[in-house]
Chains A and B, each alone.
Chain A
Amino acid sequence: MSAAYQSHPALQLAASSTTEHRPLIITLFAVFVAATLGITVWAGRQTKSASDFYAGGRQFTAFQNGLAVSGDYMSAASFLGIAGAIALFGYDGFLYSIGFLVAWLVALLLVAEPLRNSGRYTMGDVLAYRMRQRPVRTASGVSTIIVSIFYLLAQMAGAGVLVSLLLGITSDAGKILIVALVGVLMIVYVTIGGMKGTTWVQMVKAVLLIAGALLMTFLVLLKFNFNISDLLGTAASKSGHGAAFLEPGLKYGATGTSKLDFLSLGIALVLGTAGLPHILIRFYTVPTAKAARKSVNWAIGIIGAFYLMTIALGFGAAALIGPDEIKAKNPAGNAAAPQLAEYLGGVGSTGGAVLLAVISAVAFATILAVVAGLTLASSSSFAHDIYANVIRKGKATEKEEMRAARWATVLIGAVAIALGAFARDMNVAGLVALAFAVAASANLPTILYSLFWKRFTTQGALWSIYGGLASSVFLVLFSPVVSGNPKTSMFKGVDFAWFPLENPGLISIPLGFLLGWIGSLLSKEEPDRGKYAELEVKSLTGVGAH
């Protein structure tokens, strides 16, 4: 069971064949970048009003937006992260696929339509609707930016992995250069193309990602004559863990604490999606709430199909490559999907190099599209919530607001580049799960209370947003994610971790809900009855929505 694993001599050649085919890889990357820049410039010409910049003119169809939502959602975490997590930890990695999908029901049943009906450009439009504008918009802007930066961190880590794998760049300077390139591209996409350009880039990416995953799934299944049980069995024996590889518990089952971590991750995944600002603003790009509902349905279909394929990708990587080769490239397994592509095409052959290049270009496209969505969400929130409504108290002109959004994009791009240098060796799915935990703690309670609870007040909103935000970020800071784990922590040489769980959701999400409730009950101010009537009637009927 344990020592049955044999190394592939052919894989030793991988590095040299990659070097040999480097021009091909660079060409594919360049083609994608050029095509998306073309789309961006074209979209930029049509971006005139704020509604164009923030919401793509609200004229996308439900199917187009469903594709773009999928493109925005299936990040490096879904592709590189889940494949790696399954390849190394078997069944425990599959939790990500399930949680990431089931989470869409919260968005569908409770959030997407009311949000489309009552907001205009940002999550803050809905959070602050019934409340005193300035404090709640500020809180919402801060939370949007922090959640997006956590998410960006994961994408940058994914970009670093790809590049070192493909171009053989292993020096820190080289990686930072590539992360900087991604940062510059995202700034260009968003400042020029706005929501229209970003949406089209996300649609193209979704099609590429699904096509790439389908191809790899087909090739993996072909190797096992379409016998899934055989695939699972081979993965189990190759993993060195035997049947345990196919059962829950390999990563999280060891101790009572690690089991709590699994629970924490599970809760964060299922409650995070409906609080992610970059996903929420996508619902503003369609004309009606009904179209928002239909786009979620499309997204559930597309994303669900993709996550089913992660079974073949993850267990396929475990069965065909084996954990030792995967860990050798990246300790967290982030390189498993590209490694699998090279294997399927034939290691050392032109076919292998081509498939590796294609799949890596797909992963690169995935990262760029998500990064653009995140940057747009945070710069929109800065410009619309903080600049226009707090700093300028609603007196900024449309032009000034859009200029602020573009400057904010540059600033957030710079922050993402700076942070991207740190998070290389953590599994990107784990990193994204942190963003989910922060979103579920800081944003979801206020969204739900605002829409459905009559007695919710400004104080409740502020306690919930800041309390959820502070507790989740604080717990991450003192968790093994940041320090204490010599292999995967951001800072490897030090240990100031005292919080045992990697994901803070188990504590911070209930706390966010609790604080919103207590803050409202202890509030001296009466809830604004008229504003609640407006919000409730609008959210359910779409009166005045545009």
Chain B
Amino acid sequence: MATDAPTPEGITETRPAEPTTEAFIATQESAEFGELRHAYRSFAFPLTIAFVLWYLLYVLLSNYAGGFMGTKVYSNINVAFVFGLAQFVTTFLIAWLYSRHAAAKLDPKAEAIKSRMEADA
């Protein structure tokens, strides 16, 4: 490794040969890796911002729009309760969406780069 601070390894484990730093830089700059990075970031980052905003909306409405949140929807079930349950639903939904995206778009690309780098090392 060409860098001055190699990761300290107090412990030995059986492991595949480690590619060189140059190989990592070359991969990082490759178009193939760029596509993987783009496929990951363009999905995960906006989705993260979206669910954080959606959650903050819930927290802020709870804080500053008590009247609206207290509106009865059905018998004793009010908007706040429905909003809370909606957070559960969207959490399950986003977990499912991300996993589907990862399996279809990320895993094959990642696997290809990994096997090529480990074969070269």
Seen from chain A, the residues whose Cβ lies within 8 Å of a Cβ on chain B are 49-51, 91, 94-95, 97-99, 101-102, 104-106, 108-110, 113, 129, 131-133, 228-230, 232-233, 236, 243-244, 246-249, 252-253, 259, 262-263, 266-267, 270, 290, 293-294, 296-297, 300-301, 304, 307-308, 384, 388-389, 392-398, 401, 452, 528-534, 536-538, 540-544, 546
Not counting A110-B48, A246-B81, A247-B80, a sample of 8 additional A-B residue pairs whose C-beta atoms are within 8 angstroms of each other reads: A49-B13, A233-B76, A248-B80, A249-B66, A259-B63, A293-B102, A308-B88, A531-B5
Per-position contact with A for B40-77: 1 when CB-CB < 8 Å, else 0? Answer: 11001001100110011011111110100110001111
Set A133, A248, A293: member contacting B62, Cβ < 8 A? A248
29 contacts between A and B (CB under 8 A): A95-B62, A98-B84, A101-B88, A102-B51, A102-B87, A108-B95, A108-B98, A229-B75, A229-B76, A232-B77, A232-B81, A243-B76, A244-B70, A248-B69, A249-B63, A263-B59, A300-B91, A394-B10, A396-B10, A530-B2, A531-B3, A533-B21, A540-B36, A541-B113, A543-B117, A544-B19, A544-B118, A546-B13, A546-B15
Q: Report how far A248 CA is from B59 CA in the complex, Å.
A: 9
Residue of B12, B40, B77, B110 touching A228 (CB-CB under 8 A): B77
Hey, which chain B residues are within 8 Å of A394, CB to CB? 8-10
Given A102-B51, A397-B10, A530-B2, check contact A541 B25 (CB 8 Å).
no
CB distance from A447 to the nearest CB of B (A): 13
C-alpha gap A133/B9 in the complex (Å): 12
Cβ–Cβ contact B80 & A301, under 8 A: no
Q: Which residues of A contact B98 (CB under 8 A)?
A: 108-109
In the complex, what residues of B have CB within 8 A of residue A106's CB? 48
**0 or 1 for each of B16-29: is its CB under 8 Å from A? (1 = yes):** 10110110110110
- Give Cα A252 to B63, complex, Å: 8
* Chain B residues engaging chain A, CB cutoff 8 angstroms: 1-3, 5, 7-16, 18-19, 21-22, 24-25, 27-28, 33, 36-37, 40-41, 44, 47-48, 51-52, 55-56, 58-64, 66, 69-70, 74-78, 80-81, 84, 87-88, 91-92, 94-96, 98-99, 102, 106-107, 110-111, 113-114, 117-118
- Which of A248, A307, A538, A546 is within 8 Å of B14, CB to CB? A546
Q: Take A98-B87, A108-B95, A259-B63 as given contacts and tell me if A541 and B114 are in contact as well, using a CB distance cutoff of 8 Å.
A: yes
Contact between A389 and B77, CB atoms less than 8 A apart? no
List of B residues within 8 angstroms of A131 by Cβ: 5
Contact of A229 among B19, B74, B95, B111 (CB under 8 A): B74
Minimum distance in angstroms from A305 CB to a CB of chain B: 9
Q: Give the shortest distance, in Å, between A401 (CB) and chain B (any CB).
A: 6
Query: How far, in angstroms, from A98 to B85 measured CA to CA in the complex?
Result: 8
Point out the residues of chain B lying under 8 angstroms from A230, CB to CB: 76
| Also in contact, A95 and B59, with CB within 8 A (given A233-B76, A246-B78, A304-B88) | yes
The answer to whether A533 and B24 have CB atoms under 8 Å apart is yes
Q: In the docked arrangement, what's the CA distance between A301 and B89, Å?
A: 11
Instruction: Report A531 CB to chain B, min CB distance, Å.
Output: 6
Are B12 and A543 closer than 8 Å at their CB atoms?
Answer: no
- Across the interface, do A388 and B44 meet the contact criterion of CB distance under 8 Å? no
Closest to B55 in A: A102
A91-B81, A229-B74, A540-B36 are known contacts. Are A102 and B91 too (CB-CB below 8 A)? yes
Measured CB to CB, the nearest residue on chain A to B64 is A259
Interface-centre pick from A249, A294, A395 (highest chain B CB count, 10 A): A249
* Residues from chain A with Cβ under 8 Å of B64 in the complex: 259
Given the complex, which residues of B lie within 8 Å of A229, measured CB to CB? 74-77
A247 touches B66 (CB 8 A): yes
Are A247 and B102 in touch, CB under 8 angstroms?
A: no
Min CB distance, B26 to chain A, in Å?
8
Contacts of B37 in A (CB 8 A): 536, 540
Counting from the closest, the 9 A-B pairs by CB-CB distance are A394-B8, A248-B62, A266-B59, A229-B75, A247-B70, A530-B21, A533-B28, A388-B10, A533-B24
Q: Please give the distance in Å from B13's CB to the nearest CB on chain A.
A: 6
Chain A nearest CB, measured from B106 CB (Å): 8
Question: Bound state CA distance, A105 and B51, in angstroms?
Answer: 8
Q: How far apart sit A108 and B44, CA to CA, in the bound complex (Å)?
A: 9
**Which interface residue of A97, A229, A230, A452 has the most chain B CB atoms within 10 A?**
A229
A389 touches B8 (CB 8 A): yes
- CB neighbours of A266 from chain B (8 A): 55-56, 59
Q: How far is the CA of A438 from the CA of B81 in the complex (A)?
A: 29
Bound together, the chains give a CA A49 to CA B61 distance in angstroms of 52
Q: B95: which A residues are within 8 A, CB to CB? A: 104-105, 108, 296-297, 300
A538 to B7, CA, bound (A): 14
Q: How far is the CA of A35 from the CA of B76 in the complex (A)?
A: 44
Shortest Cβ distance from B18 into chain A, in angstroms?
Answer: 5
Known contacts A50-B11, A531-B3; A247 and B78 CB within 8 A of each other: yes
Which residues on B sit within 8 Å (CB–CB) of A544?
15-16, 18-19, 118
Contacts of A104 in B (CB 8 A): 91, 95
A537 touches B28 (CB 8 A): yes
Q: Tell me, in angstroms, the Cα distance from A91 to B77 when the chains sit together.
A: 11
Residues of chain B within 8 A of A50, CB atoms compared: 10-11
Cβ–Cβ contact A537 & B62, under 8 A: no
Q: Given A98-B58, A543-B114, does the pair A105, B11 have CB atoms closer than 8 Å?
A: no
Most buried by A among B24, B58, B60: B24
Minimum CB distance partner of A393 in chain B: B8
User: Which A-chain residue is minimally distant from B37 (CB atoms)?
Assistant: A540
Interface contact A105-B91, CB-CB below 8 Å: yes
A240 to B58, CA, bound (A): 26
- Which residue of the partner chain A has the closest CB to B113? A541
In the complex, which residues of chain A have a beta carbon less than 8 angstroms from the beta carbon of B9? 394
Interface residue from A95, A259, A397, A536 paired with B28 (Cβ < 8 Å): A536
* Set of chain A residues within 8 Å of B117, measured between Cβ atoms: 537, 541, 543
